[in-house]
A and B are shown apart, each in its own frame.
Chain A
Amino acid sequence: MSSPQQTISIAGENSLIVYFGDKPGAAIASQVAQTAHQLRESLSQVLIDLIPSYASLLVIYNPLQTDHNAVRKSIRQALSNLTDDVNSESNKGQTQGSLVSLPVYYSTESGSDLQTLADGAGLTTEQVIAIHQQTEYRVYAIGFAPGFAYLGEVDPRIAAPRLATPRQKVPRGAVAIADRQTAVYPAQSPGGWNLIGLCPQRMFDPNANPTMPVQVGDRVRFEAIDKQTFLELGGQL
């Protein structure tokens, strides 16, 4: 289901960027993932890499083996094959993505900003925790740091702006909210998102296969665990 909303633009000497619209959402996330999947097959040898993001796909090719016109043609072909029919068996994997469940130890002990966020939202911490788990999120993009997956969209009741002053150290596994996005920090790093809990599962492990439990287009649910379970799963406070 190609639509006039999709455009193909030049990004550089060896890159084209496909725009799918100007608002991220489940439908667009699915289109981005489907297109990436198809281009991996159809461009294979001449493809250097792909960067799927919120509503775009950067296609990097080898200009010594092909040219931008040939790559545009492959992209147009992939776009014409897009489907919104999430019930079709053949497209189910691609359009819906995998559903990944991530355990979270939510508490004021493991999430430094949980109380402040609840206060600001006029909710109890229990309500914030419940609302965070109610949404099935989509992986919109991966970037910023290795393994950092941007998930959307957070329920507006618990959306909160980034901290005015970012922290120097956010621990690995921190589950955090910024505006209408949520994420799990894959490694200790500086960061300005609101911390509400800790996830014991590694989000980025160079020695694991796959390296990450999620990819762009996948769906994610968070499930609360208690402190005991968190520690048993290898979590550290």
Chain B
Amino acid sequence: MSGLKVIQPGIFSLPQDSGRFGQHAVGLTTGGPLDSNAFRWANRLCGNALEATAIEVTIGGLVLESTTTTQIALTGADIPLTINKKPAALWHSHAINPGDRIELGFATAGSRGYFAVAGGFQFEPIFNSASTVPREALGGLTQDGTALQTGQLLPCETVKDHRDSQAVPKHLVPDYGNNSALLRVVLGYQQEAFSNLQKQLFFTSQYAVTESSDRMGYRLKGSKITPSIEGILSEGICLGAIQVPADSQPIVLLNDRQTIGGYPKLGSVLSLDIGKLAQLMPGGTVRFEAISVEQAHNLLALDHHQFLNTALENIPEETLESSLKNTAKSTKP
């Protein structure tokens, strides 16, 4: 089969589809892209189903060589992209021919890029998903949870005719530049075990992302929040749950979280804001804002409809060069 050959795997590049669902009963987590917004746009740019398998590139360093005719797109963090050494824009689709060399540099803002290919990467699913979860040794090209390796061929379909390049409208491209985020929170779980004073402290404080942050969870450092209970009977944990262990420093649980756990939880971060958190580098800062579950439902519906009803912009090839000048800052070495 044709595909893209891995010349350099980069720092940590994981194949991800939209996630592994319906397997919590046997203890499997969901995996899937940390920044689901950047992920869906990458697939949209390639004309794919929104759950198609793409590569989540953490920080960067991925180098690929194509054996086929296809189209690609890179979204997410500001990672300099070149095709045959020529700078190529992010949040755009690009035509690729056999022999083309695609190089990703290292992120200058944000930390997760999403690299999609026309038709999606064709990996054999395990538990109905290609999502790679290293902790569970599941998913990915070899189905055993390993990150991309040098020499692998990432299979994808051959495209007959290149479509015109397309771009995500500028106003919808997130700015990852200031390494900070406001995270909206639906209060829940053991929220009553946190006094009003503790909640006020939490919602008026700034927290920093620590080095011990990964796909399981982001450990934050800041004002200590202490619930009135130490532990609970282990219970199901949803995406974005904010748990507070004995050291009183909150952890926001992400895609590779354990499915059950026994620390008190204050509520959960809105899924639309999970990607903003996961794009932060250690030292990045977050603040929290409480919203009701009804507001959350409304925000999700609005976001969904905005995405569905937004047209991509057609970019004739000759104007690609000039559009690049606008993103020149992100293509510096």
A and B form one complex: yes
Identify the A interface with B (CB < 8 A).
9-15, 17, 22, 24, 48-58, 60, 63-64, 67-68, 141-148, 150, 187, 204, 206, 211-212, 215-216
Contact B186 A56 (CB under 8 A): no
| CB <8 Å contact, B126 and A206 | yes
B26 near A51 with CB under 8 A, answer no
**A49 touching B21 in the complex, CB below 8 Å, given contacts A13-B270, A14-B238, A68-B297:** yes
**B235 and A146 form a contact (CB under 8 A):** no
Q: Kindly provide the distance from the CB of B191 to the nearest chain A CB, expressed in whole angstroms.
A: 8
- Provided the pairs A53-B260, A143-B258, A145-B27 are in contact, do residues A12 and B234 lie with their beta carbons within 8 angstroms? no
Q: Is B238 in contact with A12, judged by CB distance below 8 angstroms?
A: yes
Closest chain B residue to A52, Cβ basis:
B25
B24 at the interface (CB under 8 A from A): yes
B136 x A141 contact (CB < 8 A): no
Q: Are B236 and A64 neighbours in the complex by a CB distance under 8 Å?
A: no
Q: Are B188 and A9 in contact (CB under 8 A)?
A: yes
Give the CA-CA distance A210 to B8 in the complex, in Å.
38
Contact B268 A146 (CB under 8 A): no
| A residues less than 8 Å from B136 (CB atoms) | 145-146
What's the minimum C-beta distance from B171 to chain A, rounded to whole angstroms?
Answer: 23
Top 6 nearest A-B pairs (CB, nearest first) are: A58-B236, A51-B236, A12-B268, A143-B260, A10-B188, A13-B296
Please name the residue on chain B nearest to A24 by beta carbon: B233
- Contact indicator A12/B267 (Cβ below 8 Å): yes
User: Complex Cα distance A143/B237, Å?
Assistant: 11
A11 to B235, CA, bound (A): 11
- Cβ-defined contact, A144 with B126, below 8 A: no
Bound-state Cα–Cα, A11 to B21, Å: 18
Given A64-B304, A206-B126, check contact A10 B293 (CB 8 Å): yes
* Contacts A/B (CB < 8 Å), 10 sampled: A10-B186, A10-B293, A11-B265, A13-B268, A14-B300, A53-B260, A63-B300, A64-B301, A143-B258, A144-B258
Q: CB of B77 within 8 A of chain A?
A: no
Partner of A147 from B26, B126, B267 at Cβ < 8 Å: B26
Task: Give the secondary structure class of A's interface.
Answer: loop
- B21, B186, B260, B261: the one contacting A13 at CB < 8 Å is B186
Most chain A CB neighbours (cut-off 10 Å) among B137, B189, B260, B265:
B260
Instruction: Say whether B259 contacts A51, CB under 8 Å.
Output: yes
Is the CB–CB distance between A17 and B236 below 8 Å?
Answer: yes
Whether a CB of chain A sits under 8 angstroms from the CB of B285 is no
Which residues in window 250-298 of B have CB below 8 A to A?
A: 258-261, 265, 267-268, 270-271, 293-294, 296-297
Q: In chain A, what residue has the closest Cβ to B144? A: A206
Residues of A within 8 A of B26 (CB): 142, 146-147, 204, 211-212
A67-B297, A145-B136, A146-B138 known; 8 new pairs, CB 8 Å cut-off, are: A9-B188, A11-B268, A14-B271, A15-B236, A49-B24, A143-B27, A143-B260, A216-B25
Report yes or no: A51 in contact with B24, Cβ–Cβ below 8 A: yes
B265 to chain A, nearest CB (A): 8
Which chain A residue has the least Cβ–Cβ distance from B259?
A143
Q: Is B187 an interface residue (CB 8 A)?
A: yes
Q: Are A142 and B25 in contact (CB under 8 A)?
A: yes
Contacts of B265 in A (CB 8 A): 11
A206–B127 CB distance below 8 A: yes
- B228, chain A: closest CB distance, angstroms: 15
Q: Is B241 an interface residue (CB 8 A)?
A: yes
Q: Which chain B residues border A150 with CB–CB below 8 Å? A: 234
Q: Which of A58, A144, A211, A215 contacts B238 (CB 8 A)?
A: A58
Cα A219 to Cα B300 with chains together (Å): 41
Residues of A within 8 A of B186 (CB): 10, 12-13
- Considering the chains assembled together, what is the distance between the CA atoms of A95 and B235 in angstroms? 20
Contact check, B25 vs A147: say whether CB atoms are below 8 A apart: no
Query: Within the assembled complex, what's the spacing in Å between the Cα atoms of A63 and B300?
Result: 8
**Is B151 in contact with chain A by the CB < 8 A criterion?**
no
Given contacts A9-B189, A15-B238, A215 and B267 within 8 Å (CB-CB): no
Cα–Cα, bound, A55→B233 (Å): 7
Q: Decide: A147 and B27 in contact? CB cutoff 8 A.
A: yes
A56–B233 contact, CB under 8 A?
yes
Q: How far is the CA of A1 from the CA of B271 in the complex (A)?
A: 36
